[in-house]
Amino acid sequence: MRVLVSHCDDRPSEAVRFRAAWLRAGGEEGEFVFVTPSTAADVSPPSTAFDGLLLAGGPDVEPRRFGVDPQPGVELRLDPARDALDLELLDRAAREGRPVLAICYGCQLLAASAGGTVVQDLERAGKTGHTVPEPKDRQTHDVIVSPNARFLPAAGGRFAVNSRHHQAVAEPGDGLSVAARAPDGVVEAIEAGTGDRFVLGVQWHPENMSQQEHVAIFRAFRSACLRRAGGRG
């Protein structure tokens, strides 16, 4: 099985954290193939098959990707090459029916790819307490999971997450629905609203968490990838 993991060129430590999370969920060494904008031509040419796509966290989504201008006074850390790579991979995953797990920035870009929108700065929108960068596994707040959530654990319940983002999904976009919110109403997870394909975006970082709810996310994603691969390990 081959799962592409897209991350930024300047964040090589992502590979260590995601491998550890994958192993906690029952994954095997060698199932992940890491790709960045600088390695994409060699690692993931159009002819190369993959069984799932994982978008790691990263920069801020370029506002033009969701049809607006940058908000005056908001400091944005942009990576147009990462945006372009991930949008291309999301498009291909959709065409080929591949499972997708999108984390933090990836969740926001997933929404933008479906015509959704992003809150450019939560503090300016009056939503505080979502940017707690360290320690990476700190349980910052709960998420309230929709009773209709299809791919998240604890449907109709709640569990604690870490939180280190200043942006969030505003509108999830066509074919996607809100799967979880923070107590203050901020969108914390989106997912495919219909169909059998596993498509889930979460705003927190489950790769840094060892509690069962977070491990379950990777386990469910891996199961979907294995089904798409026809049961190959």
Q: Which of the following is catalytic: 14, 31, 188, 207?
A: 207
CA 147 to chain centroid, in Å, comes to 21
Q: Which of the following is catalytic: 130, 165, 205, 214?
A: 205
Q: Which of the following is catalytic: 104, 141, 214, 225?
A: 104
Which class for 139: exposed (0-12), middle (13-18), buried (19 or more C-beta within 10 A)? Answer: middle
Q: What is the DSSP letter of 132?
A: -
Phi then psi for residue 187, to 5 deg, are: -65, 125
Radius of gyration of the chain (CA): 16
Paired strand residues for 205:
none
Distance CA 151, CA 24 (A): 18
Which residues in 177-207 are b (16+ Cβ under 10 Å) and which e? bbbbbbeeebbbbbbbeeeebbbbbbbbbbb
Instruction: Verify whether residue 107 is a known catalytic residue.
Output: no
Instruction: Verify whether residue 104 is a known catalytic residue.
Output: yes
- Active site residues per annotation: 104, 205, 207
